Amino acid sequence: MARNFEPVLGISYKWIAAIIVMIGTFMTLLDTTIVDITIPKMLAALNTDTYGIQWVIIAYMIGSAVAMTIVGWLGAATSYRFVYMFGMVIFLTMSVICGQATSLTEMLIGRLIQGIGEGLIVPISMTILFLVFPKEEAGLAMGIYGLGASFAPALGPTIGGFLTEHLSWRWIFYVNVPVGIIGFLLAVMLLEDVKPEDETPWPFDWVGFILLAIFLGSLITFITKGQEKGWLQSYFIISLIVISVVSLIAFLIWEHYQHYPVLDLSLFKDPIFTIGVVTLGIFSLTLYGIFYLMPLYMERLRMYPTLLSGLIMLPGSIAMGISLIVGGALSDRIGVRPIAILCMVFFVIFSYSLSIFDLYTPKSVVLMMFILWCIPAGPLFPTLTTGSLQNVPETKVNIGSSIQNVTRLVCGSIGTAIATTILERKASYFFDMLSCHTNYGHSPFLLAWQRAVKGFMAKGACLSFAKEQANALIDLYIKAHAYFIAYQASFKILAILALLGLPILFFFKVEKNSKKHIAI
């Protein structure tokens, strides 16, 4: 049944709701990438090593993924407004705890529970936007939501670099507090409940929830730790794979016989929903893989300072934010499928074009290429999410959005793992290949080595020390070349993976303005 909301201070309620929920969505999704760039600063403060600190990211993803699975039930049992505000309270409280953490254990507990807050806020925000905007503005609504889903992660490195450079790494958590309090108070005063009147709570499926939590936790852990542990060479990784497969099979079998499953998998009977979710997963895989590679390329290979790397990515992030809104509005007028196909074509092209980056690519070229990549990436999220929900009943929109967001999170983790694995393995391979040609019988190498020795000796070094330094310099030079070739290969492979989603979109037959909605 349609419901009408009164304007607030002369402003249509849909925009009031959009501003409120986007505060929480933007803030929580910013934390998925803002931490990445400050990881090196946390090592000493938390008394841990590189491997231990990675769990700061993994814990957040696990908490978020698990929480997303219960949003559907929690929203039906209480209200969408309550779920949003409850998630905000959890997220803000844990932000303070993470900022004050003095040990890795404290940080991991804080990040795990903070992820739960994000897992509640993100899908319920998407549901609220989808329901308060009229059907002819469905793409615009998802474009606004996409500002958080894609724009916030893109801004993470820039904001994280600025806060770390001028204040402290702890401020990447503290900054959430004033923003979150404002968002929470606005929700208390102005946010109405848009829960469909015919949606009623159902018994909670505890067995299904536990099986799904085990599956998601083991899956995300082995994906993110696989490269470090050597994949199938590690008993730890093999054990996690077995656990994830067994728990997934058990979950599917259990859910098949449940009248009230924790996730309503019957939504996948709708081909439009299935195509949208699958394509969203493929898109997320490439998107987050490239988001992971770009700061690494600039900071580790080109040796740019953290803040400079973030500033280079900033114009692209702004371009993505603009294209999100424009693409969402165009999909309302032209249709979802044409916009999705066009954007996917250019997304693949510009993802592949990033492989031109090498050791000498000017900053201006890096900046411009990243902008060109961000523009088609922006509209893909609102078009895919809007289109896939077209046939979903109002009472199941919150479940559909949860499935979409779990898919985005898991596939984003897979994309990051693929990027890491390709980069390290290709770098090792190319290093060995290049090293084969660097010996004293190879004239260009010998000439370069001799020049390096003479250069160090001219600076006052003795012959033996000059030779050691020349060898180290040549080794560093080879490693740098091996890595830039590996980066190029990684961008190409991620682009090819995105290409897999293009043919599927031709079957994405979405009717214009078909969204079931709650009128404003």
In three-state form (DSSP H/G/I as H, E/B as E, the rest C), the secondary structure along 91-148 is: HHHHHHHHHHCCCHHHHHHHHHHHHHHHHHHHHHHHHHHHHHCCHHHHHHHHHHHHHH
- Rounded to whole angstroms, the Cα distance separating 40 from 55 reads 13
Q: For residue 241, what pLDDT band results from cuts at 50, 70 and 90?
A: very high
At 319 the pLDDT is 86
What is the number of other CB atoms lying within 10 angstroms of the CB of residue 439?
Answer: 10
- Rounded to whole angstroms, the Cα distance separating 437 from 53 reads 37
**Highest mean pLDDT pick, 234-238, 321-325, 349-353:** 349-353
- Rounded to whole angstroms, the Cα distance separating 67 from 69 reads 5
- Rounded to whole angstroms, the Cα distance separating 284 from 426 reads 23
Average pLDDT over residues 383-392: 81
Q: Looking at the domain assignment, is residue 353 inside a domain?
A: yes
Residues 89 and 101 in one domain: yes
At 114 the pLDDT is 93
Which of these, 197, 187, 135, 142, lies nearest to 3 by C-alpha position? Answer: 197
* Beta bridge partner(s), residue 11: 8
Q: For residue 349, what pLDDT band results from cuts at 50, 70 and 90?
A: very high
Residues 291 and 413 in one domain: yes
Residues 95 and 125 in one domain: yes
Q: Considering the entire predicted model, what is its pTM?
A: 0.80
Residues 367 and 439 in one domain: no
Average pLDDT over residues 282-297: 87
Q: Looking at the domain assignment, is residue 234 inside a domain?
A: no
Of 32-36, 214-218, 248-252, 277-281, least confident by mean pLDDT is: 32-36
Q: Report CA torsion sign: 445, 448, 453, 456.
A: negative
Residues 319 and 434 in one domain: no
Token pair 């989808």: residue: 130
At 291 the pLDDT is 82
CA 68 to each of CA 87, 142, 393, 402, 454: distance values in angstroms, whole numbers, following the listed order: 11, 18, 19, 5, 62
Residues 342 and 358 in one domain: yes
Give the tens place of pLDDT for each residue, 440-482: 555 565 566 566 666 766 666 676 666 666 666 676 777 878 8
At 314 the pLDDT is 82
Give the tens place of pLDDT for each residue, 100-113: 988 888 998 999 99
CATH, residue 167: 1.20.1250.20
Average pLDDT over residues 302-324: 82
In terms of DSSP H, where are the helices of 268-396? 271-296, 306-334, 336-353, 363-388
Residues 281 and 391 in one domain: yes
Q: How many residues does the chain have?
A: 520
Q: Looking at the domain assignment, is residue 412 inside a domain?
A: yes
Residues 37 and 134 in one domain: yes
Tell me: pLDDT of 123 over 70: yes
Residue 222 DSSP code: H
Residues 478 and 415 in one domain: no
Tell me: pLDDT of 509 over 90: no
CA 362 to each of CA 286, 312, 413: distance values in angstroms, whole numbers, following the listed order: 24, 11, 30
Residues 296 and 404 in one domain: yes
Residues 470 and 331 in one domain: no
Tell me: pLDDT of 518 over 50: no
Residues 442 and 390 in one domain: no
Q: Looking at the domain assignment, is residue 369 inside a domain?
A: yes
Q: What angle do CA 136, 385, 133 make, to 5 degrees?
A: 30
Q: For residue 1, what pLDDT band results from cuts at 50, 70 and 90?
A: very low
Q: What's the structural domain count of the chain?
A: 2
Is 257 strand, coil or helix? Answer: coil
Q: Looking at the domain assignment, is residue 215 inside a domain?
A: no
Q: By residue range, what is the domain housing residue 417? A: 13-204+262-428+485-505
